Amino acid sequence: MILYHKKFKRVFLVVSVIACLVFLRYRNDFRGILSVLEASVFKNPFADHQTKYFDIASLPSSERSQWLPDGRVNAAFVSLARNNDLRDMVQSVQRLERRFNHKYHYPWVFLNDEEFNEEFKSRINETASGPVEFGVIPKEHWQMPETVDRDKMHDNWEKLKNQNILYADSESYRHMCRFESGFFYRHPLVKKYEYYWRVEPSVDFWCDLDFDPFAYMKQNDKVYGFTITVSEYTETIATLWENTRNFLKLHPDTLHPNNSLNFISDDKGRTYNNCHFWSNFEIAKVDFWESDAYAKYFDHLDSSNGFFYERWGDAPVHSIAAALFTDRESIHFFNEIGYWHPSSGHCPLDEPTLAKCECSPYDSIDHNGWSCLNKYYDAFDIPYPANWHLYKGV
């Protein structure tokens, strides 16, 4: 046994010496192999794309409708946020990057009514895979018009409070709705893009996307894209439709001949059925809001001060405008984009799409009484999904 151990030690020593000599002789080759392995295993997954993709932010606004040299669309994600939204905003960016943008590196635009602090900028820059720009909203776009009767306004707010309406007496919420209705697209950081995708803090994206929604919009001449459609609280928009009808009487030429009035009205325009696209998610063409029809419409609404006397949201304003002033064929339902905004979500029904998602159709608002998706299917003559009946009323 002792002789065996001595023999083993001698063999081990010889093998070790040979191994050392081989390593010294070929160490440069080993280093090369290791560097290749390290690069393939630990490399930044976005590195190739960072060198490949064109910097959209550098494109002159006069060229915004062109396809980019790398095949992408001139588009960006646009977020309205404040410094104290940092944690929730990072969450939203992370989730959209993971589901989609890590493959495309579209830029991000963040707007605030005050300067973003360095912590916000740093964290967002670390999280986003594309270029990031931060902008401040002009004071005149975030202040109450002088024509607002404040006594009347506060009396109306009190009535909404008594009805337990969300944001009943919130002035900042009303500034946000007015800004998103009539000013965001005028900001220099936004107007240079052809399309935008609105992203809010605290949202989630449930499905992996294997296509580019911006490219889909451009290739198919789409103007407005949505993923959730619901009914608005009547109390918050008491005179919105009345003001809309008055506008159409003054400007009948703004009504598109192939409009989708039948989606937002059940009686050929006499009343509004409160259906709207939930604008906390929207993918849309910037120049639609710059159009003569929409500019006149917003100015007409704004002159009534309904954003402050009542609680007009940008969602019904955008939706009514899209239904009246665009071709119905230019509105698109992004069923493939599973989406969650606090309190409500959309999860696809069809199995091939659902296989790419982390959600259940039972998570969708699409099938309950608040949803207007059934009205959308009917108004646009779109067949219901084959398994729709399984979730109806959920």
Residue-wise pLDDT tens digits, 168-224:
999 999 999 999 999 999 999 999 999 999 999 999 999 999 999 999 999 999 999
Task: Give the DSSP H/E element, type plus range, for residue 122.
Answer: helix 118-127
Which residues fall within 8 angstroms of residue 203, CB to CB, at 6 or more apart? 92, 95, 280, 281, 339, 340, 341, 342
Give me the mean pLDDT over the 31-48 stretch.
33
Helix (H/G/I), strand (E/B), else coil: 345: strand
What are 331's strand-pairing partners?
224
340 CA to centre of own chain: 11
Write out the two tokens for 170: 């919130």
Q: Which amino acid is at 80?
A: L
Write out the two tokens for 4: 């065996």
**What dotted CATH number matches 56-346+361-379?**
3.90.550.10
Residue with more model confidence, 62 or 379: 379
pLDDT at 49 > cutoff 90? no
pLDDT at 6 > cutoff 70? no
> Residue holding tokens 């159709």?
361
Give me the mean pLDDT over the 88-100 stretch.
99
User: Which sequence positions are flagged as catalytic?
Assistant: 282
Which residues fall within 8 angstroms of residue 364, CB to CB, at 6 or more apart? 345, 346, 347, 391, 394
**Residue 97 to residue 101: CA distance in whole angstroms:** 4
State pTM to two decimals: 0.84
- pLDDT reported for residue 21: 46
**Residue 56 to residue 62: CA distance in whole angstroms:** 13
- pLDDT reported for residue 87: 98
213, 334 Cβ separation under 8 angstroms = yes
What's the Cα-to-Cα distance from 387 to each of 33, 64, 266, 380, 392, rounded to whole Å? 53, 41, 26, 19, 9
Report the largest interatomic distance among the alpha carbons of the chain, rounded to a whole angstrom.
Answer: 110
- pLDDT reported for residue 390: 85
Which residues fall within 8 angstroms of residue 388, CB to CB, at 6 or more apart? 349, 367
Model pLDDT for residues 75-84, shown as the tens digit of each residue: 999 999 999 9
> Residue 218, Cβ neighbours under 10 Å: how many?
19
Residue with more model confidence, 125 or 387: 125
Strand bridging mode 331-333 / 224-226: parallel
Give me the mean pLDDT over the 333-359 stretch.
96
- pLDDT reported for residue 162: 98
Q: Domain residues of the chain, as ranges?
A: 56-346+361-379
pLDDT at 38 > cutoff 90? no
Helix (H/G/I), strand (E/B), else coil: 229: strand
From 76-80, 83-87, 368-372, the region with the lowest mean pLDDT: 368-372
